[in-house]
């Protein structure tokens, strides 16, 4: 029995004993000759919120299902709390799961849906109903226990699924695209709620999404995946500011690439040059990666480095503008500009000079 069951006090779910550390050790998964996960290795700290981010088919769900016990790996091991669980059945792993499809039982009311994992664990009825009510309060659905799933909105149903996943106080919570079916406003509100629930019960969360904005907003660390491999692991700021390759630079946020090479202590690119950044070796060739917000419209001439061009379509985003500039030296560049109070905004068709600093740029080899 989970130790927190024995000394659950008045605080109920909040008295949970915290999240478990998790290790994926060289996990490979093959279907026939196809490797959908390759040497997948990762250590997660207890209580951490880690997101698997990648395009469809990159192996996110496979990695999660191997941890949950729905899929057996072809090679490698998974450890929870330092103990190998690869041979342990799903129900013994103390892992809660939320999927994109709510997978609630339609004929059961909300309370019985939430209490279901407790019933499977032989918890007596009165206690399981009391604990279901606590879990429902945690996801802000106190008083909804008597309703049927079809009497709830999409967001409410997903909160019920979340309550069901946490009701047995798992030390690990796995969420596979849980907000994928919801509209943007609701998704953002639910992101905050999920973070709040995690703070209160202290479990380790692995969250799966293909939405880079969601990953940046929610995670302690992001694992960027592509074709069954880990491309980069880091904090949201590290992944955004220092992408380790072009795939990450393009998949997380938007990036402008300027071909460049280093010769004679100068970095030559986009028809201009600049002093060489210290970290690059002589003879380096690659691409300078700049985010849309790294550019500024230069109002007086003579700034270096700079790109000259003409403004294309301008999109108004409330607090900022986003526009394309067709530059003479580097082709199309995407720019995001904060609105300044009283300043003139960008005008489609106008000539423009874009200044930027290499300090915030990432330098990608090859």
Site for Mg ion, rule CB under 5 A: 61
Nearest CA-CA partner of 171 in 6, 2, 23: 2
Check if the beta carbon of residue 79 is closer than 8 Å to that of residue 23.
Answer: yes
**Positions in 59-98 near ligand ADP (CB under 6 A):** 59-62
Work out how close the CB of 304 gets to ligand ADP at its nearest, in angstroms, rounded to a whole number: 43
Interacting residue with ligand ADP among 27, 44, 50, 54 (CB under 6 A): 54
C-beta separation of 16 from 169 below 8 A: yes
Q: How far is the CB of 243 from ligand ADP (least distance, A)?
A: 19
Q: Which stretch binds ligand ADP (CB under 6 A): 53-61, 162-170, 229-237, 317-325?
A: 53-61
Q: Is 277 in the site for ligand ADP (CB under 6 A)?
A: no
Provide the phi-psi class of 103: left if phi over 0, else alpha when psi is between -120 and 50, else beta. left
Q: Which does 62 bind (CB under 5 to 8 A by kind): Mg ion, ligand ADP, none?
A: ligand ADP
- Least distance (Å) between residue 117 CB and ligand ADP: 24
Does residue 57 touch ligand ADP according to CB under 6 A?
A: yes
Could you say which of Mg ion, ligand ADP, none residue 58 binds, taking C-beta under 5 to 8 angstroms by partner kind?
ligand ADP
Neighbours of 55 (CB within 10 A): 12
Helix (H) or strand (E) holding 68: helix 60-68
Residue closer to ligand ADP, measured from CB, 31 or 126: 31
Smallest gap from Cβ 45 to ligand ADP, in A, equals 23
Q: Please, which residue, 225 or 311, has the CB nearer to Mg ion?
A: 225
Residue 36 as a binder of ligand ADP (CB under 6 A): the answer is: yes
CA torsion through residues 192, 197, 202, 206, sign: negative
Residues 6+ apart with CB under 8 A from 292: 254, 256, 322, 334, 335, 336
Q: Kindly state the smallest distance separating residue 181's Cβ from ligand ADP, in Å.
A: 15
Find the angle CA(326)-CA(348)-CA(309) to the nearest 5 degrees: 25
């Amino acid at each position: 029995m989970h130790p927190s069951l024995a000394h659950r006090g008045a605080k109920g779910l909040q008295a949970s004993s915290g999240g478990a550390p998790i290790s994926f050790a060289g996990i490979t998964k093959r279907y026939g000759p196809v490797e959908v996960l390759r040497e997948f290795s990762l250590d997660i700290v207890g209580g951490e919120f880690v997101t698997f981010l990648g395009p469809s088919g990159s192996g996110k769900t496979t990695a999660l299902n191997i941890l949950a016990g729905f899929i057996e790996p072809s090679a490698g091991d998974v450890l929870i709390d330092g103990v190998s669980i690869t041979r342990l059945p799903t129900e013994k792993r103390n892992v809660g799961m939320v999927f994109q499809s709510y997978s609630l039982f339609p004929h059961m009311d909300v309370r019985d849906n939430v209490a279901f994992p407790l019933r499977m664990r032989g918890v007596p009825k009165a206690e399981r109903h009391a604990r279901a009510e606590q879990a429902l309060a945690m996801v802000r659905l106190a008083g909804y226990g008597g309703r049927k799933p079809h009497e709830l909105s999409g967001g409410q149903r997903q909160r019920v699924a979340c309550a069901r996943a946490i009701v047995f106080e798992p030390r690990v919570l796995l969420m596979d695209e849980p907000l994928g079916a919801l509209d943007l406003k609701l998704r953002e509100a639910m992101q905050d709620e999920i973070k709040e629930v995690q703070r209160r019960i202290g479990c380790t969360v692995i969250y799966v999404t293909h939405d880079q904005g969601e990953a940046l907003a929610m995670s302690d660390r992001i694992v960027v995946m592509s074709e069954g491999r880990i491309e980069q692991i880091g904090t949201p700021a590290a992944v955004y500011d220092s992408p380790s390759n072009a795939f990450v630079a393009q998949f997380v946020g938007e990036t402008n690439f300027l071909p460049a090479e280093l010769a004679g202590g100068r970095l030559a690119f986009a028809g201009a040059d600049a002093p060489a950044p210290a970290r690059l070796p002589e003879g380096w060739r690659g691409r300078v990666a700049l985010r849309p917000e790294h550019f500024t419209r230069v109002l007086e001439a003579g700034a270096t480095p700079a790109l000259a061009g003409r403004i294309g379509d301008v999109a108004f985003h409330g607090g900022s503008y986003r526009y394309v500039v067709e530059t003479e030296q580097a082709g199309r560049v995407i720019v995001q500009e904060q609105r300044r109070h009283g300043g003139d905004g960008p005008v489609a068709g106008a000539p423009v000079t874009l200044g930027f600093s290499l300090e915030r740029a990432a330098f990608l080899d090859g």
